[in-house]
């Protein structure tokens, strides 16, 4: 609690900060094992729960980019 107060994060729960960290790492391209090493999760299924949306978002961006490249070639 003291650290959250010092950092100005008193309104945020520890769980919320973990979720945000896992999501941001997944969006940056980190693998589940890398995310677990940072967040401390022992179960990859828990990491995947947090990172699923971020991976889907990243894949969608990649697909959109490929579509644009294909359209530019035509």
Q: What share of the chain is helix, strand, coil (3-state, %, to 5)?
A: 75, 0, 25
Mean pLDDT, residues 56-60? 86
pLDDT confidence of residue 58: 83
Summarised one tens digit per residue, pLDDT across range 10-39 is 676 666 777 888 888 988 889 999 999 998
Answer for the pair 40, 61: CB distance below 8 angstroms, yes or no: no
Range of the domain at 21: 2-73
Q: Which of 59, 35, 29 is nearest to 47 (CA)?
A: 35
**Report field, pTM of the whole predicted structure over 0.85:** no
Higher pLDDT, 73 or 67: 67
* Euclidean distance between CA atoms 10 and 15, whole angstroms: 13
Which burial class, exposed, middle or buried, applies to 33 when counting CB atoms under 10 A from its CB (0-12, 13-18, 19+)?
exposed
The structural domain count of the chain equals 1
């Amino acid at each position: 609690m003291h650290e959250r107060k010092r950092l100005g994060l008193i309104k945020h729960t520890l769980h919320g900060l973990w979720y945000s960290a896992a999501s941001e790492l997944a969006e940056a391209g980190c693998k589940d094992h890398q995310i677990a090493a940072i967040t401390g999760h022992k179960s990859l299924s828990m990491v995947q729960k947090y990172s699923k949306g971020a991976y889907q978002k990243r894949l969608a961006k990649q697909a959109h980019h490929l579509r644009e490249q294909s359209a530019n070639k035509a």
